[in-house]
A = this chain, B = another copy of it.
Amino acid sequence: MLPSKAALTRSTILDAGSAFLETRPFRDLTVGILMAATEYSRPTFYLYFNDLHGLLETLLDEVKGGIVEGAQAWLSNESDGVSGLQKSLRALVDVGYEHGTILRAVSNAAPRDSRLEHVWETFLSSFDEVVSARIEQDQAIGVTPEFDPLPVARALNRMDAGILINAFGAHPKAEKEEVLSAITCIWLATLYPFDAQLVVGDKSNGSA
């Protein structure tokens, strides 16, 4: 369908958008500015995208894959929970570090457009379901405490999204390891409390 010229133009525009968002927030992006960074005129933009939100939708698609892939370590029950989760969270932080500016742009733009909002919301909640499913399995074999898995999964996922965007969405980016430690600490404490705190657990206190 897109033989050659068109595909090239389209990808030129995408690159210009990507590059812009690397250094400046979405609110500063206009179709005029975007196309001025290319060889093309402003109307050309509308041949390839409905609007700036459509462009972001495309950019998000390119990131999606990496995130889903990294999550597999834990979601597929290959390795045990703790180390699989650690691996997946590391992969998540890597992707977030790499594509943080795109994620931030999408998250920033989503509230301005009903369609993009839906895409973003769907993207986020898609993880809620699979995480919740994994939690249920671990609860069934007793390695994870009993609690309603879906809302907890949702909370943990929103935390990840919020932190990744906050830490890596703009320059200067936060320390990768610091972020990883923090979210790993919380996920492990919540899902695998019997494994995680063995190193420290001695002082007990008699709280009311």
Contacts and interface: CB of A to CB of B under 8 A. Distances in A.
Contacts of A25: 111
A159 B182 CA distance: 12
B27 A112 contact: yes
A145 B205 CA distance: 13
Which bucket holds chain A's interface residue count?
35 or more
A151 B111 contact: no
B205 A27 contact: no
B146 A182 contact: no
B197 A152 contact: no
Given A27-B113, A79-B208, A151-B181, 19 more contacts: A27-B111, A80-B208, A81-B207, A83-B207, A112-B112, A143-B207, A147-B185, A148-B178, A155-B162, A155-B186, A156-B186, A159-B162, A186-B186, A189-B189, A190-B190, A193-B201, A194-B197, A194-B203, A195-B207
